[in-house]
Amino acid sequence: MRTATKTRPKVKVFSIASRYILREHVPPFVFAFALITLIFLLNLVFRELGRILSKGLPLGIILEFFTLNLAWIVALAVPMAVLMAGLMAFGRLSSDNEITAFKAGGV
């Protein structure tokens, strides 16, 4: 005897084009995020290191200070990295005429 069970159709979350565009965004995002974070962190180090070292604080406190400041650095770096990744990815897609191919394919 068979039981009646409802099977849900499998729904693809991302289409092939969406996955392709996402793959184009990830490497530039990682590069831009690392670069922007490094720039902000170096700015913080050069700005605050003299003042911190003059107080004679232990190394653990100094590292904790810079680690806790990473929160606002990441909050500023992520939007900039997303913007740079979008510009780099769509610039490459445009230069290789892949956007034209997407339009011709009806995407």
pLDDT digits (tens, 9 = 90+) for 30-84: 999 999 999 999 999 999 988 988 998 899 998 999 999 999 999 999 999 999 9
Residue 76 is assigned to a structural domain of this protein = yes
Candidates 54, 87, 48; CA nearest to 66 is 48
pLDDT bucket at 2, cuts 50 / 70 / 90: low
Q: Do the beta carbons of residue 80 and residue 48 sit within 8 Å?
A: no
Burial of 32 (0-12, 13-18, 19+ CB in 10 A): buried
The answer to whether position 8 is within a domain reads: no
Query: Residue 27 falls within a domain, yes or no?
Result: yes
**Which of 9 and 1 is assigned the larger pLDDT?**
9
Task: Examine residue 15 and state whether it is found in any structural domain, yes or no.
Answer: no
10 inside domain: no
In a domain? residue 14: no
Domain of residue 45 covers 20-99
7-18 pLDDT, tens digit per residue, is 777 767 778 888
Residue 62 lies in a domain: yes
**What's the domain count of the chain?**
1
In a domain, 4, yes or no: no
